[in-house]
Copies of this chain bind each other. A is one copy, B any other.
């Protein structure tokens, strides 16, 4: 087959895959993890069941693929926020505030069973370690130039920051999230 034809097929496969992930996450958000079937997903996506099975073996695998893409998107976003101009404390604040909003939004998606299922995934642990390293490096950078505290190791301070930021899940508003991040940073200077 000519190269162009292969590329068209590749692009088509990506589009179908994309559509499957999108419709599955919508169906699961609406009906819950346990009640969504491959037939429903095929119907909603507008493809045959046999075609769907050429892409994914079951609902769980689709959801994990969707979640993996979500996580990768969040990490990329956080890295962009980190790489913006500004001094270390301001960039740390931006990273923590962005992560606080992500935590708060993802809590509102889906039910407890869904969260528990997704968070057994080892991708989550991997992403959390990358986030921890990102925050630790910003803290070390700030301590190095004397704008953030140096009496506690950046690694320990990063653990503190990420646990404290998780409080965003329980906060009622964006303003409360902003206050939370201000409080957390007050402990880092």
> Footprint of B on A, CB under 8 Å?
149, 152, 156-157, 159-160, 162-167, 170-171, 176, 179-180, 182-184, 186-188
Chain B residue contacts of A186, Cβ below 8 A: 186-187
Query: B167 to A163, Cβ gap below 8 A?
Result: yes
Chain B residue at minimal CB-CB distance from A158: B167
Query: B159 to A171, Cβ gap below 8 A?
Result: yes
Pairs across A and B, CB under 8 Å, 13 listed = A152-B179, A152-B183, A156-B171, A156-B176, A156-B179, A160-B184, A163-B163, A163-B166, A164-B164, A164-B167, A164-B184, A183-B187, A186-B186
Q: Tell me what chain A mostly uses at the interface: helix, strand, loop, or mixed.
A: helix
| Distance in Å: Cβ of A97 to nearest Cβ of chain B | 14
Query: B152 to A159, Cβ gap below 8 A?
Result: no
Chain B residue contacts of A156, Cβ below 8 A: 171, 176, 179-180
Q: How far is the CA of A164 from the CA of B152 in the complex (A)?
A: 15
Q: How far is the CA of A80 from the CA of B66 in the complex (A)?
A: 48
Chain B residue contacts of A163, Cβ below 8 A: 163-167, 170
